[in-house]
Amino acid sequence: MIPLVFMTGLASASVPLYRMFCQATGLNGTTQRANAAPGAVDHTIRIDFDTNVAPHMGWKFVPESPSDTVDVGARDMAFFTATNTTDHTITGSATFNVTPYQVGKYFTKIQCFCFTQQTLKPGETARMPVIFFVDPKILADPDANDVQTITLSYTFYPVDSTKTKG
Domain that holds residue 73: 31-164
- Whether 119 is in a domain gets the answer yes
**Residue 160: pLDDT band with limits 50, 70, 90:** confident
Provide the pLDDT for residue 7: 46
- Whether 20 is in a domain gets the answer no
Provide the pLDDT for residue 12: 44
Provide the pLDDT for residue 32: 56
- Tally of domains within the chain: 1
63-73 tens-digit pLDDT: 999 999 999 99
For the chain, give the percent of residues with pLDDT over 70. 72
- Whether 159 is in a domain gets the answer yes
Compute the radius of gyration of the chain from its Cα atoms: 18
DSSP at 143: T
- Whether 8 is in a domain gets the answer no
Taking CA atoms, 80 is separated from 33, 74, 95, in Å, by 19, 20, 14
- Whether 12 is in a domain gets the answer no
89-115 tens-digit pLDDT: 999 999 999 999 999 999 999 999 988
Q: Which of residues 119 and 33 earns the better pLDDT score?
A: 119
CA 43/CA 63 separation, integer angstroms = 24
30-43 tens-digit pLDDT: 555 555 566 667 89
CA 166/CA 164 separation, integer angstroms = 7
- Whether 121 is in a domain gets the answer yes
- Whether 16 is in a domain gets the answer no
Average of per-residue pLDDT across 47-75: 96
- Whether 69 is in a domain gets the answer yes
CA 61/CA 54 separation, integer angstroms = 10
Domain containing residue 46: CATH number = 2.60.370.10
